Amino acid sequence: MAHHKSAIKRWHQSLRERGATAHAAPLLAVPSAESAKAVAAGDETATREALSAAYSALDRAAKMGAIHTGKADRTKARLAAFISKGAA
């Protein structure tokens, strides 16, 4: 653990920077998976690839601690329900 005030500040800044990219990835991946183009067109491969990318981004963010694991699981469940409802 850092002992100097400037070292502690730098440590906090590094955590913020590392978490920012992990937190932003799911925010970009989930809406692209929910896009109506792939679901409405019935393109199963594009939908599956977008869903896989969103799952991966959510799992990565949860593993790094950028988001809570429960939030990642809940978002994945809601996304899967949205996709299956759109496919039906």
pLDDT-derived band at 71 (thresholds 50, 70, 90) equals very high
Please write down the long-range contacts of 51-56, taking CB distance under 8 Å and 24 or more positions apart.
Answer: 51/79, 51/80, 51/83, 53/29, 54/26, 54/29, 54/30, 54/79, 56/29
pLDDT-derived band at 73 (thresholds 50, 70, 90) equals very high
27 close to 71: Cβ distance less than 8 angstroms: no
The average pLDDT across 44-67 equals 87
Residue predicted with more confidence, 27 or 7: 7
pLDDT at residue 14 in the model: 79
Q: What is the pTM of this model?
A: 0.70
Residue predicted with more confidence, 14 or 81: 81
pLDDT at residue 55 in the model: 93
For 28, which DSSP code? H
The per-type count for the chain, helices as H runs and strands as E runs, is: 4, 0
**The pair of three-digit structure tokens given for residue 88, joined into one six-digit string:** 């039906």
Alpha helices in 1-88 (DSSP H): 5-33, 36-41, 44-64, 69-87
